[in-house]
Amino acid sequence: MPTTPPFRLNDGNTMPQLGYGVWRVSNEEAATSVVDAIKAGYRSIDTAAIYDNEEGVGKAIAASDVPRNELFITTKLWNDNRSFDGALTAFDQSLKRLRLDTVDLYLIHWPGVSGEGYVDAWRALVRLKEEGRVKSIGVSNFMPPHLQRIIDATGIVPVLNQIELHPRFQQKELRTFHAQHDIATESWGPLGQGSLVADEKLAAIGRKYGKTPAQVILRWHLDNAFIVIPKSVNPSRIRENIDVFDFALDADDMRIIEAMDDKDGRVGPDPAIFG
Ligand SMILES: NC(=O)c1ccc[n+]([C@@H]2O[C@H](COP(=O)([O-])OP(=O)(O)OC[C@H]3O[C@@H](n4cnc5c(N)ncnc54)[C@H](OP(=O)(O)O)[C@@H]3O)[C@@H](O)[C@H]2O)c1
C-alpha cells in the first residue's frame, strides 16, 4: 500500500503531502468513499462545512480501524460565519458533525470581496490553535493582500494557502509570495476538476513511465512541493491517484507541463470577485 511522505508545516506540525478531497461528495458517498480512501493508503481528508458531508466523513473516520492520531483531518469555515464569534460557533458545529475533539487543520474558505470579517475570523482561528482545539490553521483562496493583512494583524502566518492550482493555472506570483513567507501551497482542483485527464501531452509523458495522465499531473504537484488533494468517488481512481510514489518526472517533462500554464486557465471562481 502506498504511503504518502510527510510535509513539514511552518508551525512544526506535519501533514501528508497527498490527501483525499471530498467536494461534491454526498454524506452517503463520503461514508463509503472515505473508507475506500483510507484502505487505499490516504491518511489526510479534506472536507468543509459547505460540502455538507462532514457527518459522512465523521462516520467513515469512526468506522476506520486506523487510529485517529494517524489521520489528518481538514475542514473549513464557510463565508456566512466569517467573524470572530461566527468562526468559534461554526468550528464547534463542524467538530460535532465530524464526531471529533480536534481537527488537524482549520481553514478560512474564502477571504470574500467585502474585505470584512476575515481578519476577525483569523483571530478566532488563532484562539482555537492556542486552546489546542485545532493543531494547525491556514487559509484558502487568499491573495497576497489578504495574506499580508492577517499576518500584520496577528503576527501569525498561516501554515498553508489552499488555492486552485493545476498545469493549466499555475499561480506563479502567488507561489512566490508563499515562498517568501514560508506558507505551503496546497492545490485544489489539482486535475483541473477532471478537465486535464485526457490531455495528449500528459498521456505521452505517462507512457514513458506506465502511468496515466492523472498520475503524471499528481506527480507534477508533488515534484513542485505542493500539497495535493485529488477527489474521486471511483474506487479504482482513488487507488490510481495515490499510486504516484514510484516514479519521478524528468526535467523535460517538467518543462512541457510548465509550458501548459495559461492565465485564463482557471476552472473555479476567482477570489477577486467571489465569496
Ligand atoms: N478551497 C476551495 O475553495 C476548494 C475548491 C474546490 C475543491 N477543493 C478541494 O480540492 C479537492 C479536489 O478538487 P476538485 O474535487 O475540485 O477537483 P479534482 O480533484 O481536480 O478533480 C476531480 C474530478 O476528476 C475526476 N477524477 C479524479 N481522479 C481521476 C482519474 N484518475 N482519472 C480520471 N478522472 C479522475 C473525478 O471524477 P470521479 O469522482 O468520478 O472519479 C472528478 O470529476 C476537492 O474535493 C476539495 O476537497 C477546495
Active site residue 118: no
Q: Which pTM was predicted? A: 0.98
* Ligand 1 centre distance from Cα of residue 81 (Å): 25
Q: Which residues pair with 227 in a beta bridge?
A: 186
Instruction: Out of 15, 22, 23, give the residue to mutate to test ligand 1, the one with the largest number of ligand atoms within 8 Å of its CB.
Output: 23
Give whole-number Cα distances, 35 to 29, 64, 135, in Å.
Answer: 10, 7, 23
**Which residue owns the Cα nearest ligand 1 atom 25?**
194
> Mean pLDDT, to the nearest integer, of 226-231?
98
**Exposed, middle or buried: residue 123 (CB in 10 Å: 0-12, 13-18, 19+)?**
middle
- Whether the CB of 235 sits within 6 Å of ligand 1: no
Rounded Cα distance, 115 and 157, in Å: 18
Q: What is the pLDDT of residues 8-37, one digit of tens each?
A: 999 999 999 999 999 999 999 999 999 999
* Ligand 1 centre distance from Cα of residue 167 (Å): 14
**Which residue owns the Cα nearest ligand 1 atom 24?**
194
Q: What is the pLDDT of residues 181-192, one digit of tens each?
A: 999 999 999 999
| Residue showing cell 495528449 | 200
162 CA: nearest ligand 1 atom: 1
